[in-house]
Amino acid sequence: MGDTTPSGAGRVLQVDVELPDGRHCPVLVGDGVRHELADAVPSRAGRAAVVTQAGIGVDVDPGIEHRVFTIGDGEEHKRLSTVEDLCSAWARWGLTRADCVVAVGGGMVTDVAGFAASVYHRGIPVIHVATTLLAQVDAAVGGKTGVNLPEGKNLVGTFWQPAAVFCDTATLATLPPREWRCGMGEVAKYHWLGGGRLDELPLVERVAACVRIKAEVVAADEREGGRRALLNYGHTLAHALETAGRHELRHGEAVAVGLVYAATLARRLGRVGDDEVAEHRRVVAGYDLPTSLPPGLDPRSLVEQMGRDKKSTGEGLTFVLDGPRGLEVVGGVDPGQALAALEEMA
């Protein structure tokens, strides 16, 4: 992690996501870094398609001819039809494979725009300008893209590394309190990935610390063949909660519940004791996030939903769980145990 602060400017930290074959993705973190966007645009690009949402209110200048394409707000727009609409609009405008896409917004925008960029002309460069805490510490970094199906969250997607990511912490000043807490759900996850007390760090350092942890994991396992799955800690239940609850629970809130659930399940399986479950509750509650299941959801339906999780590869259910050796991917979990842990949390 390097400090690229120019004289007289606010502090800017750069974390490079090093990838196989010498590829790398620079991630810049700091107030105002989005104004460096033009430096990251590929030299051969003549046009940039800027994808954003109404109300984000963050302007960018890629330094070349560009046009803004707006997608809908809300998880109901995170679907294949939105990707088709984007690609059709780009084709009508004349966007070529030499051009690029700039995603400006939160995790939904980077997921959708990144996916569309990965399939348009079989792949064109994409740059992310992350404007929410959740996107800056997690969603915009690492190259995973995806959209939802009625059967589950992020079930269709690609691995498509961005050319660069700009985490402009100045854009976080106007985040609504709930959106801020949503990002804290992902920050809390990094506590168990080596981050420790991230809440004690200044904002720029906190975001950069999360990015550094994710960068190290992605560098070792870009396509989630093993270790990268640990970044999904808490997400198996989280995605089920989002789908079953029709996204009334925001992603970071669902991850927070999923973290406590994962500890509760790990205790039932003899992997951790009461102290670890209490620690999970303490950390999650410390970020002002929920620690119990929301009312009105059927635990049996949640177990069925968790069976569709992307990590599942065989018999039983698959989770990332804490244990004596830290976080591990654990397969073959008895659905009855998963159900009992849900009922315990309710």
Nearest-angstrom CA–CA distance, 261 and 37: 40
Q: Looking at the structure, tell me whether residues 93 and 125 fall in a common domain.
A: yes
Burial class (CB in 10 A: 0-12, 13-18, 19+), 92: exposed
Query: Within a 13 Å sphere around the CA of 301, how many CA atoms are in the beta-carbon half?
Result: 10
Tens digits of residue pLDDT in 303-331: 999 998 766 666 789 999 999 999 999 99
Domain with 58 in it: what CATH number?
A: 3.40.50.1970
How does residue 8 score in pLDDT terms, banded at 50, 70 and 90?
A: very low
Domain match, 194 and 286 both: no
| Residue 69, phi then psi, degrees to nearest 5 | -120, 120
Instruction: Give the C-alpha separation, 18 to 36, whole Å.
Output: 21
C-alpha Rg value of the chain to the nearest Å: 20
pTM: 0.91
Q: Which residue of the set 66, 189, 191, 232 is catalytic?
A: 232
Q: For the chain, what is the domain count?
A: 2
- Among the candidates 192, 220, 248, a domain finishes at 220
First to last CA, the chain: 42
My answer on whether 239 and 168 are in the same domain is no
Which tokens sit at 257? 């519940």
Choosing from 220, 247, 278, the residue where a domain stops is 220
Inside any domain, residue 263: yes
Whether residue 333 is contained in a domain is answered as yes
Chain-centre distance for alpha carbon 234: 12
- The model's confidence at residue 6, banded by pLDDT at 50, 70 and 90, is very low
What letter does residue 159 receive in the DSSP assignment?
Answer: B
Domain-ending residue, one of 193, 220, 247: 220
208: containing domain: 2-220
Of residues 128, 191, 228, 280, which has the active-site annotation?
228
The DSSP secondary structure of 201-220, one letter per residue, reads S-HHHHHHHHHHHHHHHHHH
Q: Which of 66, 78, 128, 144 is catalytic?
A: 144
Q: Is 227 tagged catalytic?
A: no
